[in-house]
Amino acid sequence: KGAQKSLGNFFKKQ
């Protein structure tokens, strides 16, 4: 199965 990505890959810290 695919590797679980984290939201940090998509959303930048403000």
Partner 1 sequence: MFEAKLTEGLILKKIVESIKDIVTDVNIDISPSGISLQAMDSSHVALVSLNLSMDGFEHYRADTNMVLGVSIANLAKVMKLADNNDQITLQADQEATHLKIIFENPKTERTTEFNLNLITIDSEHLAIPETEYSSVVTINSGEFSKICKELFSLSETVQITTNTDYVQFSVEGEVGSGQVRLGHNDSEKKEDQTILEVSESVQQQFAIRYLNMFNKASTLSSFTRLCLHQEQPLVVEFKIDNLGVLKYFLAPKISD
Is 8 in a helix, a strand, or coil? helix
Residue 9: CB minimum distance to partner 1, A: 7
Residue 1: CB minimum distance to partner 1, A: 5
Count of chain residues binding partner 1 (CB under 8 A): 14
Radius of gyration of the chain (CA): 9
Nearest-angstrom CA–CA distance, 3 and 1: 7
**Window 1-14: residues binding partner 1 (CB under 8 A):** 1-14
Interacting residues with partner 1 (CB under 8 A): 1-14
